[in-house]
């Protein structure tokens, strides 16, 4: 990755600047030393190597990378049998068959959001009116959260993801409100189960497969992990197309290439540029270095996805044929993102419907049509203003 092309991704911290080393020693935002893996092949090997533990990264005294880490009781912080058990309980919600059945529903929601964009006309914000409300509506429907509660839910989640403005005390208060709501809702699902994921999980709890805390944490993890990342991924993909008019025109002329475009945009602009921290449980040789027991390691998905040894013309959108190797954006191995099929589905449908509806779409003719969010955990936009006439 070159300095010029990485600038397309907006302001990035020094740790994500390009460099020649496949594995390099860096200092985290908290001052702890870490190994940063830039190579696609070595990154994949780290993600499947059980000697690099997610659970160990949450142990007392473990090196910390930043504040954007999942809770210790989250499925994303587990290894081994416990992780496999919880993953099995929710994996059916993201099966190929379930995604096929959801396609029409996601299309309907997308069209509604695009109606709002069309009504607003020039200067509409694609983050506020498309990229943010769409994933939240999809997730709350999957979980079985009543539609009338969605605005409250958005308020809670937006505050919890706000890394700049919201005080720690306010975040704690909103988190308590969200937990209390979820507990009350799950009690209701137990009394009156429906065809949704929270109802399925309450049945699993009643059958002894889940503790109350695991049930609550699973519900919150699915919501939090799937909302902000998908919002950011949609926003980054749209910005990429709007700043590469040739790619936009190519998709208008060849709508059958939207499938490839979806994968390429996910590869080039990952919403999560870095993995969560893993800690070595024993010495591990990795390329030219040895990661010692107790040392932290992070895979730079952003760099692995642009590895010239794996991807031909890695910094360009290949809409005609895509690439043979899958991107690292959704991870690899047992911790591969469960919601990847749902994120892909939403992005693909957004591209299909938006291209059909707005062939002349472009960045708004205003001083700052694009505003980036700060933060290393999830990369995304706070604003994306467009003109459509």
Q: Sign of torsion, CA 52 57 59 62?
A: positive
Paired tokens of 331 = 């991870």
Distance CA 326, CA 318 (A): 13
Distance CA 386, CA 358 (A): 11
Query: Comparing C-alpha atoms, which of 142, 178, 138, 185 is closest to residue 160?
Result: 178
pLDDT for 286 equals 98
The whole-model pTM stands at: 0.92
Distance CA 373, CA 209 (A): 39
pLDDT for 3 equals 39
pLDDT for 85 equals 84
**Are residues 347 and 100 in contact, defined by beta-carbon separation less than 8 angstroms?**
no
**Are residues 183 and 216 in contact, defined by beta-carbon separation less than 8 angstroms?**
yes
Distance CA 227, CA 178 (A): 15
Query: Comparing C-alpha atoms, which of 119, 350, 117, 123 is closest to residue 233?
Result: 350
Which residues of the chain register pLDDT less than 70?
Answer: 1-13, 66-77, 161-166, 375-376
Give, to the nearest 10 degrees, the angle between helix 168-191 and helix 150-161: 140
**Are residues 356 and 298 in contact, defined by beta-carbon separation less than 8 angstroms?**
no
**How many Å is the Cα radius of gyration of the chain?**
21
- The DSSP bridge pattern shows strands 33-37 and 296-299 to be parallel
Distance CA 380, CA 154 (A): 17
The set of residues, in sequence order, having a beta carbon less than 8 Å from that of 290 and lying 6+ positions away, is 283, 284
Domains and CATH numbers, the chain: 3-387 (1.10.630.10)
The set of residues, in sequence order, having a beta carbon less than 8 Å from that of 132 and lying 6+ positions away, is 154, 231
Query: Comparing C-alpha atoms, which of 145, 329, 110, 131 is closest to residue 220?
Result: 145
**Are residues 198 and 185 in contact, defined by beta-carbon separation less than 8 angstroms?**
yes
User: What is residue 289's three-state secondary structure?
Assistant: strand
User: What is residue 33's three-state secondary structure?
Assistant: strand
């Amino acid at each position: 990755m070159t300095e010029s092309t990485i600038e397309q991704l907006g302001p990035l911290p020094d740790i994500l600047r390009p460099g020649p080393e496949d594995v390099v020693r860096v200092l985290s935002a908290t001052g702890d030393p870490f190994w940063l893996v830039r190579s696609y092949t070595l990154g994949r090997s780290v993600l499947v190597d059980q000697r690099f533990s997610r659970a160990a990264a949450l142990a007392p005294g473990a090196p910390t990378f930043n504040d954007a880490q999942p809770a210790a009781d989250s499925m994303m912080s587990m290894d081994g049998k416990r992780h496999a058990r919880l993953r099995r309980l929710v994996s059916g919600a993201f099966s190929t068959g379930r995604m096929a059945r959801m396609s029409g529903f996601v299309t309907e929601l997308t069209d509604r959001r695009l109606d709002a964009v069309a009504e607003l006309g020039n200067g509409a914000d694609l983050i506020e009116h498309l990229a943010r409300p769409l994933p939240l509506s999809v997730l709350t429907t999957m979980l079985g959260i009543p539609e009338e509660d969605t605005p409250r839910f958005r308020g809670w989640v937006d505050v919890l993801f706000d890394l700049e403005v919201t005080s720690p005390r306010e975040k704690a208060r909103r988190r308590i409100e969200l937990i209390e709501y979820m507990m009350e809702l799950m009690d209701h699902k137990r009394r009156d189960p429906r065809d949704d994921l929270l109802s399925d999980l309450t049945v699993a709890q009643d059958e002894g497969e889940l503790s109350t805390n695991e049930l609550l944490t699973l519900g919150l993890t699915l919501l939090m992990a799937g909302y902000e990342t998908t919002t950011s991924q949609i926003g980054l993909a749209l910005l990429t197309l709007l700043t590469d008019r040739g790619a936009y025109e190519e998709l208008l002329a060849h709508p059958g290439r939207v499938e490839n475009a979806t994968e390429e945009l996910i590869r080039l602009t990952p919403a999560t540029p870095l993995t969560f921290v893993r800690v070595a449980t024993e010495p591990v040789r990795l390329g030219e270095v040895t990661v010692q027991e107790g040392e932290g390691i992070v895979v730079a998905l952003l760099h692995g996805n642009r590895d010239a040894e794996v991807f031909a013309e890695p910094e360009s959108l290949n809409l005609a044929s895509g690439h043979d190797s899958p991107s690292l954006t959704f991870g690899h191995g047992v911790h591969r993102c469960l919601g990847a099929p749902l994120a892909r589905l939403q992005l693909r449908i957004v591209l299909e419907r938006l291209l059909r509806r707005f062939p002349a779409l472009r960045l708004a003719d205003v001083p700052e049509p694009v505003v980036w969010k700060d933060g290393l955990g999830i990369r995304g936009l706070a604003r994306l203003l467009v003109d459509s006439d």
